[in-house]
Amino acid sequence: MAAKIMKAVQYEGYGGGAAGLKAKKLRVTCLLGREFRHVVVWNLVREECHRKKGVGLDWELPKLYNVAMENERRMMERGNDVKRGGKKMTVEDLDSFVNLGLCSLQHTEIPIPSPKKDEVLLKLEATSVNPIDWKVQNGMLRPFLPPRFPFVPGVDVTGEVTEAGPEVANFKEGDKVIAMLGLPNSGGLAEFAVAPTNMTVSRPAELSPAEGAGLPTAALIALQALRTAGTSKFDGTGKSSNILITAASGGVGHYAVQLAKLAGLHVTATCGVRNVEFVKQLGADEVLDYKTPQGASLTSPSGKKYDAVIHCASGIPWSTFEPNLSAYGTVIDISPSFKSMVAALYKKVTLSKKKLVTLVLAPNVEDMKFVVESAKEGRLRTCVDSIHGLSKAEAAWAKSISGHATGKIIVEM
């Protein structure tokens, strides 16, 4: 009997290219500030990026490329000609070029998976795109992840149970659920996926598929980061403290602000100027535009020192945090680099009073139930930045890489 087929989005190698393919060099002249610079997009595996352009370029390239594309788009909107290869570009050409050069995601048809004894098969309704998805594609966790190519990314999903494994007793066909698939398997950018029952919970009717799909990874990171900072109660009865949340309008950040306020903490937050009012509405007591001198220095407008920092941004050195911390202040880095991990180790071995802690998410169903129940009760809400169809998954991918999403990026099936 022939296997049933589903639509899916996958990639075939690190950096978006298949091993053995020749490099596709797509050179663009873009206006960045007052200088013309060249942006080169490589469609090849990570080794080629290292060999051709030096270690690390492929990590910075996506953000630089996105900035360049946005500048070209603005030039078009002002009526200026943008040319590539002697041809005048249209917005449609630009979108096509972004999809080709940046994402390298492939739309395909593959067999519908079968659930194992402790899994459920879901007809997916929505999935969210997290930075870890494209960072894995860039090779951040190589050689451990992905376990194989081609690979279908996507971890956080909502869907309807269509089949349950023989040992599954708590879910049945027709149940609406929220699930975290786990990085080794993933599979969220597809019409169907199998989910482990130990990371699957019922989706309340109060939550839409998009709202539910935004929760698992980002809300759990926010919750566990706050616990690492010493917060154990989220009902306002715990010890009050001062906390800073960087990139507070992003996926993790906007959940962290809400959870911190549930815990009764005084929250100072950073974000871009366009999101200042949004972050205030989430409950932040003080909001800094990170591009202002005060925002760049992370100085609290009220002069408070921070007992903890939930660091959701990147590129901020320890020297900026240190003078703003209380005597025993701690910085929790949710997306640590090699440099920050070395710094964290140094602080530990030198018995520093002020600490830098790197957070590694530890998924568990109890935390899933907590954030879903909080969302059901209206105490925690998912802000949806944008919703894309599966056929437009590249747009969701590119938006996540840009680093400028407000809340969560969703793909609906």
pLDDT at 203 over 70: yes
CATH class of 109-214+382-391+404-412: alpha beta
H/E run at residue 93: helix 91-98
pLDDT at 98 over 50: no
Closest Cα to residue 336, out of 364, 303, 313, 358?
358
pLDDT at 201 over 70: yes
Average pLDDT over residues 353-382: 95
User: For residue 349, what pLDDT band results from cuts at 50, 70 and 90?
Assistant: confident
Of the two residues 315 and 338, the one the predictor is more confident about is 315
**Residue 313 near residue 244, CB atoms below 8 Å:** no
pLDDT digits (tens, 9 = 90+) for 27-59: 333 333 322 333 333 333 333 334 433 333 333
**Residue 189 near residue 390, CB atoms below 8 Å:** yes
pLDDT of the residue at 92: 45
H/E run at residue 5: strand 5-10
User: For residue 11, what pLDDT band results from cuts at 50, 70 and 90?
Assistant: confident
User: For residue 99, what pLDDT band results from cuts at 50, 70 and 90?
Assistant: very low
pLDDT digits (tens, 9 = 90+) for 379-401: 999 999 999 999 999 889 988 88
At residue 158, φ and ψ (nearest 5 deg) are -125, 150
User: For residue 344, what pLDDT band results from cuts at 50, 70 and 90?
Assistant: confident
Q: How far is the CA of 122 from the CAs of 330, 393, 413, in angstroms?
A: 40, 19, 12
pLDDT digits (tens, 9 = 90+) for 109-165: 999 999 999 999 999 999 999 999 988 887 777 778 888 889 999 999 999 999 999
Average pLDDT over residues 198-216: 98
* DSSP label at residue 45: -
Closest Cα to residue 19, out of 51, 40, 43?
43
**Residue 33 near residue 177, CB atoms below 8 Å:** no
Return the bridge partners of 358, or none.
333
The distance from CA 256 to its chain's CA centroid, rounded to whole angstroms, is 14
pLDDT of the residue at 83: 47
Half-sphere exposure of 331 (CA within 13 A, CB side): 30
* 219-358 is classed CATH 3.40.50.720: yes
Average pLDDT, the chain: 81
**Residue 170 near residue 199, CB atoms below 8 Å:** no
Average pLDDT over residues 262-280: 97
Of the two residues 105 and 308, the one the predictor is more confident about is 308
pLDDT digits (tens, 9 = 90+) for 12-25: 877 643 332 323 33
Report how far residue 356's alpha carbon sits from residue 342's, in angstroms, rounded to the nearest whole number.
10
What is the residue-wise DSSP string for 227-289? HHTT---SSS-S---EEEESSTTSHHHHHHHHHHHHTT-EEEEEE-GGGHHHHHHHT-SEEEE
User: For residue 266, what pLDDT band results from cuts at 50, 70 and 90?
Assistant: very high
pLDDT of the residue at 75: 54
Of the two residues 106 and 70, the one the predictor is more confident about is 106
pLDDT of the residue at 63: 45
User: For residue 73, what pLDDT band results from cuts at 50, 70 and 90?
Assistant: low
pLDDT of the residue at 72: 53
Closest Cα to residue 207, out of 375, 374, 370?
375
Of the two residues 32 and 188, the one the predictor is more confident about is 188
Report how far residue 266's alpha carbon sits from residue 58's, in angstroms, rounded to the nearest whole number.
39
Domain ranges of the chain: 18-103, 109-214+382-391+404-412, 219-358
**Residue 129 near residue 409, CB atoms below 8 Å:** yes
pLDDT at 169 over 90: yes
Structure tokens at 250: 């992003």
The distance from CA 287 to its chain's CA centroid, rounded to whole angstroms, is 22
pLDDT digits (tens, 9 = 90+) for 285-317: 999 999 999 999 999 999 999 999 999 998 898
pLDDT of the residue at 37: 31
Of the two residues 149 and 251, the one the predictor is more confident about is 251
pLDDT at 68 over 70: no
Structure tokens at 186: 């993933």
The SS3 of residue 350 is: coil
H/E run at residue 333: strand 325-333
Structure tokens at 93: 């050409």
Of the two residues 401 and 243, the one the predictor is more confident about is 243
